[in-house]
Amino acid sequence: QAKQLGRNNAQRYCATQTETTRQRVKLENALRHAISNEALDVWFQPQVDLQSGELIGFEALCRWTDPDHGTIPPDVFIPLAENNGMIVPLGELVLRKSCAQIRHWREAGFIPPRVAINVSGRQLRRLDFLGALCTILEQEQCRPEWIEIEVTESDILKDAEPAIATLHGIREMGIALSLDDFGTGFSSLSYLKRLPINTLKIDRSFIDGLPGDANDRAIVQAILAMGRSLGIQVLAEGVENPAQVAALRLMGCCTAQGYHFGRPALADTHRDRLACA
């Protein structure tokens, strides 16, 4: 009896697993199509100076709406693409579309601020990454100082040496670098010193508890102090309310990004905020 039950459970388990795999394969195929049809969108989220409120940058964020599956969040399709290698063509598409948007804005008489583009470790470790980056900038007639590259701390630490070499190459091209989700990757000060980065982005999880949570306050203060002593800019991610803004200003944080200042949105949404040539 027990044996019988066990076998049934095993069968049921296998059936659900097969179903999950089938779903994943379907989603993977849909994503592959979307990438080759350039059917992914890039939305832009404002970054601001906390003193003046001035727009200082945008972060480019990938969006995917599939005819069958609907809108799939980046937290689902980015890890999927990381696992099956599609992050490489996906990342190139986002780079190309972001650069093209900068050109469109400029052609329309606007001067957009710098656009930060997320690049995954898997892209960074490819030997042809710098070459591909150069080609895209050239084809889209985009200057290196118009963009910034965002990498995550944990992504770099996985296999640090080749990644660090590429980061230096990016800086040599005249492109700024920021370290995303900072504080979640256990990097040591000595590592940080070796990374040629311009900006640390404090992860949203530490901004959440401001101003009330004493631990979050201590962590944010420590990151700000570290940035000051290493000569690295600090930006707070995920700022959602005025109380957080006040706390960050008081602690001496200069720049921020979050729903309080603007959600990610289509490029045209931001036209009113752009400076004119």
For ligand C2E, the binding residues (CB under 6 A) are: 45, 61-62, 73-75, 78, 87, 91, 94, 118, 120, 180-181, 204, 238-240, 258-259, 264
Residues 221-260 within binding reach of Mg ion (CB under 5 A): 237
Q: Regarding beta strands 70-72 and 199-202, do their DSSP bridges make them parallel or antiparallel, or are they unpaired?
A: unpaired
Shortest gap between Cβ of 241 and ligand C2E (angstroms)? 9
Give the nearer residue to Mg ion in terms of CB position, either 102 or 161.
Answer: 102
* C-beta of 217 vs 260, nearer to ligand C2E: 260
CB of 189: closest distance to ligand C2E in angstroms? Answer: 22
- For 16, residues 6+ apart whose C-beta sits below 8 A from its C-beta are none
Strand (E) or helix (H) holding 227: helix 214-230
CB of 180 to Mg ion, least distance (A): 4
Give the CA-trace dihedral at 240, 47, 267, 272, to 10 degrees: 90
Site residues for Mg ion, 103-162, by CB under 5 A, read 118, 150
| Alpha carbon distance 199, 202 (integer Å) | 10
Strand 70-72 with 55-66, pairing: antiparallel
**CA 90 from centre of chain:** 13
Q: Which is nearer to Mg ion, 166 or 199 (CB)?
A: 199
By CB under 5 A, tell whether 216 contacts Mg ion. no
Interaction of residue 166 with Mg ion, rule CB under 5 A: no
